[in-house]
Amino acid sequence: MKTDAEIAVLEALAAHGESLESKTGACTPQFRARLRLVDRARRLLVLDRCSNEAANMALVAQPRAELRAEWGEWRIAFVAGNPVTFSHEGTAAIRLDFPESVEIGRRRIYERTPDPLPPLRCLAEASGTVILETSVKDMSLGGLGLDVDIVASELKPGMFLAACRLECPGWEPAIVDLEVRHTTTAIQPDGSRSTRIGCRFVNLSPAAMVLVARYVNAGKGVRNLL
């Protein structure tokens, strides 16, 4: 459900002439253009066309556009359906359905390591039942990103996952508490969809902090910390 705060953020982006960009991998080549209009009736958004016409065509070929912006210290992201080309006040533009929700969060303050090496898996349980078991797609000292099957998308922002295990053969597991911060739909190379979950570490113990730092630095190729 859209909130007044979410709509106000979109209106501010448009008023300041801020650009939105497509999520890398969901639209190739990447689309980047100004948010032109936020419909006060909450029915549609209007974007300028990108300077790269191939990016325009890639965006409107998708049933849903995954868009984001970094504005000051904030990161804004949303998914809007039915992107189509049309003319707005005599100018070629792109129209989309109004998003159902807008994710608003602070920008990442820690450097992220994509596809950590050695590969890591995250295991979460609740009442003795495994509710999440998947690979870690990116990691920093502040948190991690996970790709899960679309059926696991009931993991919502704000959900707390206690005593999760970060596991890798030959390594001591790290026990961490996680808070789900955001979720987005990711399109895989084979066209299948998964859910990307961004989590932050909550109250890392000193021992877990050391292990997380080792994982992150190993992913950067710093092996002498092991």
pTM of the model: 0.50
In this predicted structure, what is the pLDDT of residue 1? 43
* Residue span of the structural domain in which 156 resides: 113-225
Distance CA 40, CA 154 (A): 30
In this predicted structure, what is the pLDDT of residue 32? 92
Same domain, 40 and 137: no
Distance CA 32, CA 196 (A): 21
In this predicted structure, what is the pLDDT of residue 106? 62
Nearest CA-CA partner of 120 in 199, 186, 174: 174
Same domain, 41 and 144: no
Contacts by residues 128-133 (CB-CB < 8 Å, ≥ 24 positions apart): 131/161, 132/161, 132/164
Rounded alpha-carbon distances, angstroms, from residue 22 to 28, 105, 126, 177: 9, 17, 35, 31
Same domain, 85 and 122: no
Q: For the chain, which ranges sit under pLDDT 50?
A: 1, 222-226
In this predicted structure, what is the pLDDT of residue 220? 58
In this predicted structure, what is the pLDDT of residue 164? 92
In this predicted structure, what is the pLDDT of residue 169? 81
Report the CATH number at residue 45.
Answer: 2.30.110.10
